[in-house]
Amino acid sequence: MTVWALGLNHHTAPLDLRGRFAFALDQIAPALHGLRQSHARHPEAAILSTCNRTEVYCASDKPQIDHTLDWLAQAGHVPADALREHTYVLQDGQAARHAFRVASGLDSMVLGEPQILGQMKSAVRAAEDAGALGRTLNQLFQRSFAVAKQVRSSTEIGAHSISMAAAAVRLAGNLFEDLSQIKVLFVGAGEMIELAATHFAARDPATIAIANRTLERGEKLATQFGGEVMRLADLPARLHEFDAVVSCTASTLPIIGLGAVERALKKRRHRPIFMVDLAVPRDIEPEVRQLNDVYLYTVDDLAQVVQTGHANRQAAVEQAEVIIDAGVQSFLHWLDQRDPVTGVVPLIQQLHSQADEWRALELLRARRRLARGEDVEAVLEALSRGLTQKMLHGAMAELHTADPEHRQRTTQAIERLFLRGARTSPGSRP
């Protein structure tokens, strides 16, 4: 089996291009079905899609990288040649190293951020539920989770990170003198919004409001932070009430448009609005950034805020890379053991199969003899003799070869395999 990963992330592709390849969780199963059907060999497959990356992991007896790229390009309605400029392709050891680094938070915008591990686990569950996760990819991801756990427990990789939510609060503090005097609106009710609301709530803002498509989830989050809840449909009419807006939904189209923000500014008499768009694809139309009195930040903008403490981070990264190196070598060894040509596992499986065939044949003969009423001891003796002869037949035939050199090698092999721990004959070599 060979493993390959094809992806684009915040290092290789701009935000708007990444948005074209964002898969919501309920889209993963049909996407995986389409991906596997587009490949002649129906490979194992998993899709990891976050605000910072979309990655396709596959495993098959032969790599089908061009087919994977063509499928992804079609899914995002982008020409394959244009997509190729923004993607990376990794195979076997490099693919494993990348997966381990992603799981450990080494490839994130926020070094060491913990959310990516949960996102990878969700991607694996989705692939498993879709019937697309085979033994090889499952082994890759389970090892990536183990490596990530070791990295987090053995290094300080997470101690030097500033989350996106914390970075948003820091930027808001640069704009507003006193965050306890501002009104904050959170659009969405997912994990990222909950994290952002937690950070803002610690600064005790004057008002917290949650706008969500479904009120039930919004009410739960609003209750947690002592805020109010509103329907998403009411957002344009009430946008002017808020000094800060943080949005992160799974919408495929912007939900806060240029016109709505312009009307809000007019009602606010051009008092500034701080806006953070954590969604991919975007929740807030990019043209909003051009308005006076609007301070709009995307996930890519926040990345610049979190890059602090370089020396401490570098030491932690070096420690983490040592752990990842060991994990990669272990995975490659596991993969090599299963190679149909050079690996020992297929040979072991064949050996077990042959032994089972011999055993079944001798048992069948023994049962027939017992059914005819033959003596039990005689039947058992014949069964054991038959098994012994079958197991030794190949070795005895090899010993009778006319080639002296081949016979000597066979003798040494038989001594290691059959006479280990036993007293060797005078003519044999220990």
Tens of pLDDT, residues 3-22: 999 999 999 999 999 999 99
Q: What pLDDT does 397 receive? A: 78
Whole-angstrom distance, CA of residue 387 vs CA of residue 13: 64
Average pLDDT rounded to a whole number, residues 139-155: 94
Beta carbons within 8 Å of 290's beta carbon, 6+ residues apart: none
Residue 330 CB: number of other CB atoms within 10 A?
Answer: 14
Considering the chain, what percentage of its residues have pLDDT values greater than 90?
59
Residues marked as catalytic: 51
Residue range 113-127: mean pLDDT, rounded? 92
Pick from 91-105, 143-157, 283-297, 410-424: least confident: 410-424
Q: What is the pLDDT of residues 32-63, one digit of tens each?
A: 999 999 988 889 999 999 988 999 999 999 99
Contact 32, 260 (CB under 8 A): no
| pLDDT, position 424 | 47
Look at residue 243 in the predicted model and tell me its pLDDT.
96
309 pLDDT tier (thresholds 50, 70, 90): low
Nearest alpha-carbon partner for 184 in 197, 173, 174: 197
Q: Going by DSSP bridges, is the β-strand pair 244-247/228-231 parallel, antiparallel, or unpaired?
A: unpaired
Judge whether residue 332 has pLDDT over 70. Answer: yes
C-alpha to C-alpha distances, 126 to 25, 33, 49, 103, 215, nearest whole angstrom: 8, 12, 11, 17, 26
- Look up residue 242 and give its two tokens: 């808020």
Mean pLDDT of the chain: 88
Question: What confidence category does residue 348 fall into, taking pLDDT thresholds of 50, 70 and 90?
Answer: low
Tokens of 161: 């990170």
Residue 104 predicted with pLDDT over 50? yes
What residues form DSSP beta bridges with 281? none
User: What is the pLDDT, as a whole number, of residue 113?
Assistant: 81
pLDDT of 388 reads 85
What DSSP state is assigned to residue 256?
Answer: B
Tell me phi and psi for residue 163, to 5 degrees.
-70, 165
Average pLDDT over residues 362-370: 87
pTM above 0.85, yes or no: no
Does residue 430 have a pLDDT over 60? no
**Greater pLDDT, 243 or 270:** 243
User: Percentage of the chain surpassing pLDDT 70?
Assistant: 93
Confidence bin at 425 (pLDDT 50/70/90): very low
**Residue 426 in this model has a pLDDT that exceeds 50:** no
pLDDT over 80 (residue 229): yes
What separation, in Å, do the N-terminal and C-terminal C-alpha atoms of the chain show? Answer: 39
